[in-house]
Structure 1
Amino acid sequence: MDDQTNHSTPDGASVDPLSVVVQVDPALEFSSRGQGTQTVYVANDRRTGKFYRFGAREYHAVTLMDGERTLGVICRQLQRDGVLWSEVDVIAFAKELTQHRLAMVLTADRQARPTGQTSQSADQAAGETDTANSESEPVAGESAPAKTASAKTASAGAKRWGGMALRTFGGLLTQRFPLADGDRIATKLLPGFGFLFGIPAMVAWAVLVGAGVGVVWSNADAFSAEVRRVFDQQLWLVLAVMWCVLKLVHECGHAVCAKFHGVRVGRMGIMFFLFAPLAYVDVTDAWKLVRRRDRVQIALAGVYVELAIGAVAALLWWFCPVGFTKHLAAQVFLVAGPATLLVNANPLLRLDGYYVLSDLLEIPNLRAHGRKRLGAMIEALLFRIPMPESPLTGWRRDFAGIHALCSVVFQIVWMSGLVFAVATWAKGFGILIAVIAAMMWGVLPLLRWMYKIWTLEPRTGLVLNFYQRRLIGICTVVYLGVQYATVQSSPLARRVPVVVQFQEEQIARAPVDAFVTSVFVRCGDRVERGTLLLELEKPELVLQRDQLMDQRDVELAKAIQYRQRSELALSKVAQQNAESLARRLAEIDEQIDSMRIVATRAGKITTPATNQLLGRYVQQGEELLRVSDPQEKEILAIVAEDTLEAYNKASASKQVASIRLRGGVSITAPLQDLQPSASRSLPHPALAATVGGPLAVQMRQQSESNELVHPQLRSVLPLDPLTSLAVQSGQIGRLTIPDDRSLVSRIWDHLQSR
């Protein structure tokens, strides 16, 4: 049987442990079960509803604990029967039984003596309960040095207070409220829904779920756009109601499947974990089933039902027109499909997937075995404490340790996210709950473990023993590491997106909507300042100019005539009209002159498709030609607001930046000061996230062009001629500068940005 609590000695140091009489509780009900090539025995504690597994040797020892034999007699009988247990093994096994309240220690007059209150693990204090314990081989002996009686008494008191604190905090974080008789509900639902767990229904389920997955897979882009709307705050109430309904159906699936296999169903109710409502149903009696596939089916029944609902929702989403129903179907699929697989079917959480994995691999109580193994490995690594013999053998022992490590890492991330969400949502009260959760899941278990290490061995006088010195050293290293991670600057570098561009590049654009009538250059031609590049033509503009010239001449003639007639007012009006027409005529003349595009600098034509311009109709602002010098390039650095201070510090110290461009090119350039103002305009097309760049963009309102989601500052780093020839315009990359944040702040900023 799995040992999850620290042993407590029978009271009275003068009593010989081998003379103690132990009687197994009559409330235990044993049944045999085949497991691989060996037989195991399942004990049902009818008082608590818990189940425990015993190996063949353990069961044989239990049958001898009849309240008449002493532990010494039992030890000799086991050795005669071929069970090579030592006296230490028998005593340790008896301690385990009494600590789990599966056996009673009898006094000389054969009266039951109550056992001491055992401490709970952190997981049990959080509301978790082991439903299956197993051990194929007994524990050979204690690995830690022996304690004195006073040390043991102090240790028991500390554990008792620690257990009380964990239970108190656990009650604040997890509350369980039984609401209904699950067996009665399952009995009423069985006639209508029991067929769902037959073979024909399972085949139909596989076809349905396959069709739903196919619909989602073939419409991944459109479906992901629907799913992203789950973060719409206006739909949170609908999503919460839908979550509760689906989880109620999930638990009813467990209950009906258990009743389908003839298992008694316990209470149904609701549990609040970090104030999140979760339905639950007690199907612990499923451990009585001999066939493993039946137990696995009951454990997966909730996921089975929810995946069917998710598949129906996916098909409904496919058939429905655009609207609220289509979106609601997408949300049902999200909750009943991916969310259920992530949570309920996840073997790293102690839910349905965990119990299925434990049963399939024939590793009962996988979590307890794995975490005990992981803890022993950590203690052996840090304190050289000999590892106790594991009840698991072969690959199961290693798998349990790996599973425990993955489970601990996943749950740290998972619980941290939940605590952060509650702290953000509930403000001050949420922060209080976050502190309690951190105390219960982190601080108190750590303090209990440190106390255990500190009291492993008594010290002589004022001299600390080996374990105490090692513990102080490890705590010092951890403290210095935490201090460095939270206060000192991060050893990692900040990255600033950059792009290569030409210096003072001329970008010739169409001044008006017009036709290209002449192109005088080709790509790669060398031009001088003032060279005519191309000509545009817009006949409507010439015609409009001629009409304006005629109107201007008419108004001037009217002004002269009115003045000759002494009609000065009319003459002034005609003169003003002529001046207005002259200004409009000057603007048109300027537009016509601008249709002769000339080079404003010396350089090369870098536009590749100049031969396709002739005869084209171009719109105002459309790019026509580029003139630049390949030996004159620069780096445009785009600095975000949160990187501003670090960049200013680096540029003020005249640092030379290391720049790595895509394609493997690495260059260096001296940092320059930032331009004085931030801008949302996209500095270069290659930087947009829509084309694989690093900057997030969005469509401008009433425009088809993009703008930056967050304003950015710019800095221009000139390159020397040789470096300019080695890079290409439009190459993007990263510039690295020292980080001014601590390592913890850097990680926090990274998590917030996701």
Structure 2
Amino acid sequence: MAHHTAGVDERSDRPPPPLREDLVLVDAGRDRHGEPQWSIQDPVTNRFYRIGWLEFECLARWGASPARIRDEIAAQTPMQPSLEQVLELVDFLEHHRLLRAGPDSTDRLAREAATGAAWRKLSWWLHHYLFFRLPLVRPQRFLGAVVRALPWLFSRGMVTAVLLLGLLGLVLVVRRWDHFTHAVMDAFSMSGMLSFACALVVAKACHELGHALVATRLGVKVAHMGVAFIVLWPMLYTDTGESWKLRRSRSRLAISSAGMLVELGLAGLATLGWVLTEPGAVNSALLYLATTSWVLSLAINASPFMRFDGYFVLTDLLDFPNLHERAGAQARVWLRRRLLGLDEAWPEPFPRHQRRSLVLFAFATWLYRLVLFLGIALAVYHLFFKALGIVLFAVEIAWFILMPVTRELQHWWSHRRAVPRRFRLAWLLALGLLLLLACLPLQTRVSGPGVLHAERELTLYSPFPARLETIAATGRVEREAALVRLSEPDIRRRELAQESELDLLEAELAGLLDADDGRNRDSATLALHRVSESGRQAARREQQRLVINAPFAGEWQRFDRQQTPGQWVATQEPLGVLVAPSTWVIDAYVPQDEVHRLSPGARVRFLVEGHTRPLAGHVTSIGATRAEHLSHTLLAARHGGPLSTYEDPEERGKLRLERALIAIEARLDSPWTGGRQAAGQLHIDAERQSLVGQFTTWLASVVIRESGF
């Protein structure tokens, strides 16, 4: 502590290096509290740094020692700054290279040069892989010409017309909502994806052009426009950094919101155009443009949790620069005070209700980014080949998730001696309980989606195209009861023709017995008689097939209640299903990693979707290998189910499972009376396993699976 105080005393009497001569100080008006503020412009990096009254007074006396600056400000203004505040400003200016190189700066630069170029460091590559920008054009002259030539673009009449036309398009689309949703779903194909990509480029180009034109109209120089790569994903950008020169927050708000407003207007006009045009190339292009613009504007750009337009709009509305950083600082101190009992000072003084809002906003931002970065990491893993995908996945997790958490935990550890004793005991007790719960074998259940259906059921079809005569009503039927009666006129005509021919042959046989040559012709006539008899019997058998009886007692359910006598039915058209309601089984799928904990005979509970009372049963069989195909399309994601599938290229009509799942069959203890089949969740009593054991098994399976390149 003495050494630190000595260092502060030594710096307090030594004037800091002078400011760079190329810096520009811009009046930024007043903040929401009415205090004056300024912006320091660095023309080399085109960056702006917001400062307040205290920092301005320090810069006005720059050249004196920090101690003298403090004393003069205290004597000449109402403020009473501390020496540490002045030294913090010196460190800030030096860190951002806003001071001329002094002896200390020269030594630091020499050390940096001796360590090698920045691109040789891993951190440089990580930063530029995660984010880098590629300027393409310097559009200032073009933008100025457009603003001068088209002043009506910024008129209230233009904005009102676009708004009204967009609202009209939305109203008309709501009236044709089914047609619109079907058109969107039909667009999801390979050519449709390419069209969506082209529409995305057009929408984003208009978005960035909106920023640039409004900035130019308000006198802000647009240094350049280009492409920014965020985790190798290209995004157009516009450099409007000089908007901090504007004194009014409303002017900055106009620039930051211009992109979203242009994109929303484009979406509304494209929606109206889709409604008014006939199906064709233009209609499809407008559909792609409308859907892309709506999704980008409302789902991505409007989010205040990332540094997109929604964030800058919110900061300008609140006139609260650096909202993420300042809210995060408040939330970190709140956590340290609440969880560790540290008596840390708040980074900035705020009223209690405002500090609470900032803390909640920071927590929401952290949660949003956690989900987003996990999704990006998984996307990166799947987009590249396995070896590179694993490396990039690890980089994403380490850089965006583990690194911020590690920095905060390091701060906690460095201040561990300042944590009150009661907080230490509470943390030790909580960690001990968590460790005990993690090690105790408490996990006793394995779950998976399944379908409940009768063990014995029969779907009935017509044996050949026929006319429906009668069909039994839905309900309970007995064995051998007639369910469906069909007729086929051609078969009946053949039967009648065979009977007529048989009558003639029998009469001929009766006459031949008295003829002289009867013995010679008797054998031929008898042969014809046998053929005709066989034809008649075949026709009768076909007629009998047209009467479909119940092979067992059960519940008869018609598929199509619109079928009426006199209609013709095809062989592929189901007439109904006969269900034996005495025994019900469940076909379910559980993760492959959990199957070692299951055994035949284990008790199960099946929770049907929409029901609260579980059905009891037991496991009858467990698949020996991974299930390849899905036996019930009701569980497929494309039909609203929970399992991801894709169509088997070798066996058309069958769906292959994407995940490694094992098929489980279970049987209910009592009959189910809720319908022919039902989807739900199967819960199986399994061998006890702790959370630690479960995590170890999962981790080992992941390592084994991902180690095969």
Deviations 1:569-608 (A, max 9, x none): x977x877765554443232123345566565457x7669
Distance in 1 separating the partners of 2:226 and 2:433:
43
Shift of 1:658: 0.9
| Mapped contact 2:647–2:655 kept (Cα < 8 A) | no
| Structure 2 residue 535 is matched with structure 1 residue 588 | no
Q: 1:738 to 1:589 in 2, by over 3 A?
A: same
SS of the counterpart of 1:290? coil
**Aligned counterpart in structure 2 of residue 717 of structure 1, from 664, 667, 675:** 667
Q: Quick check: 1:440 aligned with 2:436?
A: no
Residue identity opposite 1:550 in structure 2 = S
Q: Deviations over 1:359-394 (max 9, x none)?
A: 112221101102222333444456544333132513
Give the whole-Å Cα distance in 2 for the aligned partners of 1:430 and 1:314: 39
Partner of 2:12: 18
Is residue 138–residue 224 contact of structure 2 (8 Å, CA) maintained in 1?
Answer: yes
Q: State the 1:85 CA deviation.
A: 3.1
Whether the aligned pair in 2 keeps the contact of 1:511 and 1:595 (CA below 8 Å) is: yes
Match among 368, 375, 379 for residue 417 of structure 1: 375
Confirm or deny that 1:672 pairs with 2:623: no
Offset of residue 613 of structure 1: 9.6
Map 1:497-536 → 2, pairs under 5 A: 497-499=450-452, 501=454, 504=456, 513-514=466-467, 516=469, 529=479
- Indicate the residue corresponding to 1:544 in structure 2: 494
SS in structure 2 at match of 1:176: strand
Q: Where does residue 246 of structure 1 map in the other structure?
A: 203
Q: Distance in 2 between matches of 1:551 and 1:694?
A: 63
What is the one-letter code of the residue matched to 2:365? S
Map 1:271-290 → 2, pairs under 5 A: 271-290=228-247
Q: Distance in 1 between matches of 2:31 and 2:509?
A: 116
Go from structure 1 to structure 2 and tell me whether the alpha carbon gap of 1:458 and 1:94 turns closer, same or farther (over 3 Å shift): farther
CA separation of 1:535/1:12 partners in 2, compared to 1, >3 Å: closer, same or farther? closer
Q: Is 1:407 equivalent to 2:365 in the alignment?
A: yes
Q: Which runs of 5+ in 2 are unaligned?
A: 688-692, 703-709
Q: Kindly indicate whether residue 62 of structure 2 is the aligned counterpart of residue 66 of structure 1.
A: yes
1:337 alignment partner, SS class? helix
In the alignment, does 2:692 pair up with 1:735? no
Q: SS where residue 322 of structure 1 aligns?
A: coil
1:416 maps to a residue whose letter is L
Could you tell me how far 1:398 is from its partner in structure 2?
2.7
- Which whole-Å CA distance do the structure 1 matches of 2:299 and 2:560 have between them? 56
- What TM-score, normalized by structure 2, do the two folds share? 0.76
CA distance in 2, matches of 1:337, 1:482: 47
Q: Which deviates more, 410-419 or 592-601?
A: 592-601
What's the counterpart of residue 105 of structure 2? 114
Q: Which residue of 2 aligns with 1:496?
A: 449
For residue 660 of structure 1, what is the aligned residue in structure 2?
607
Provide the residue aligned with 1:53 in structure 2: 50
Question: In the aligned structure 2, how far is the partner of 1:201 from the partner of 1:481?
Answer: 67
Shift of 1:300: 1.6
SS at match of 1:68: coil
Using the TM superposition, give the Cα deviation of residue 176 of structure 1 relative to its aligned residue in structure 2, in angstroms: 1.9
**Alignment match, 1:149:** none
Quick one: distance in 2 between partners of 1:418 and 1:675?
A: 35
The Cα offsets for residues 43-96 of structure 1, whole Å up to 9 and x where unpaired, read as 232333322323334433443x32135425524642663223344444444433
Deviates more, 1:290-299 or 1:193-202: 193-202
AA aligned to 2:348 is: P
Query: Higher mean Cα deviation, 354-363 or 442-451?
Result: 442-451
Aligned with 1:188 (options 145, 158, 163): 145
Q: 1:613, 1:225 → 2: CA distance?
A: 28
Give distance in 1, aligned partners of 2:483 and 2:384: 66
Which amino acid in structure 2 is aligned with residue 587 of structure 1? A
Taking the aligned partners of 1:576 and 1:490, their CA distance within structure 2 comes to 79
Q: Which secondary structure does the structure 2 equivalent of 1:423 belong to? A: helix
Relative to structure 1, is the Cα distance of residues 67 and 589 closer, same or farther in structure 2, using a 3 angstrom cutoff?
same
Residue 340 (structure 2) pairs with residue 386 (structure 1): no
Deviations 1:305-334 (A, max 9, x none): 222222232223223333343323222223
Distance 1:351 1:214 in 2: 29
State the alpha-carbon separation in 2 of the partners of residues 330 and 455 from structure 1: 57
Alignment-mate amino acid for residue 296 of structure 2: A
Q: Report the Cα distance in structure 2 between the residues aligned to 1:13 and 1:204, rounded to whole angstroms.
A: 65
Q: Secondary structure at the match of 1:659?
A: strand
Q: Does structure 2 retain, via aligned residues, the 8 Å contact 1:490–1:746?
A: no
**Amino acid of the structure 2 residue aligned with 1:736:** H
The whole-number CA distance in structure 1 between the counterparts of 2:123 and 2:437 is 26
Is 1:638 the equivalent of 2:634?
Answer: no
Residue 247 of structure 1 contacts residue 279 of structure 1 at CA under 8 Å; is this kept in 2?
yes
Identical-pair percentage: 19
Post-superposition CA distance 1:258-283 (Å, at most 9, x none): 11112222122222233322222221
**Secondary structure of residue in 2 paired with 1:672:** strand
CA distance in 1, matches of 2:229, 2:647: 43
Kept in 1: contact 2:606–2:681 (CA 8 A): yes
| Partner amino acid, structure 2, of 1:307 | L
* TM-score, scaled relative to structure 1: 0.72
Distance of 2:171 and 2:41 partners within structure 1: 47
Distance 1:314 1:16 in 2: 68
Cα distance, 1:731–1:81 mapped onto 2, change above 3 Å:
same
Query: How many residues of Structure 1 are paired with residues of Structure 2 in the alignment?
Result: 668
Deviation of 1:207 after TM superposition, in Å, equals 1.3
Quickly say closer, same or farther: Cα 1:563–1:481, change in 2 above 3 A.
farther
Q: Which amino acid aligns with 1:83?
A: M
| Matching residue's letter, 1:441 | F
Separation in structure 2 between the aligned mates of residue 610 and residue 11 of structure 1, nearest angstrom: 90
Contact 1:310 1:334 in 2 (8 A): yes
Say whether the 8 Å CA contact 1:173–1:433 is kept in structure 2: no
Contact 1:563 1:571 in 2 (8 A): no
SS in 2 for 1:736: strand
Secondary structure of 2:621's counterpart equals: coil
> Is the 1:299–1:355 contact (alpha carbons within 8 Å) kept by the matching residues of 2?
yes
Specify the alignment match of 2:221 in structure 1: 264
Instruction: Give the match's secondary structure for 2:35.
Output: strand
Matched to 2:35, the amino acid is T
C-alpha deviation, 1:429, in angstroms: 4.5
- 1:473 Cα deviation from its structure 2 partner: 8.6
Q: C-alpha deviations, 1:422-449, integer Å up to 9, x for none?
A: 4333325555444444443345555555
Cα gap change, 1:272 to 1:663, in 2 (>3 Å):
closer
Q: Give the direction of change, closer, same or farther, for the CA distance of 1:582–1:292 in structure 2 (3 Å limit).
A: farther
Q: 1:36 aligns with which of 24, 32, 38?
A: 32
Match for 1:369 among 326, 344, 350? 326
Cα distance in 2, alignment partners of residues 398 and 163 from structure 1? 43
AA matched with 2:29: R
Does the residue aligned with 1:13 lie in a helix, a strand or coil? Answer: helix
* 1:111-156 superposed Cα distances (whole Å, 9 cap, x missing partner): 77538869xxxxxxxxxxxxxxxxxxxxxxxxxxxxxxxxxx9xxx
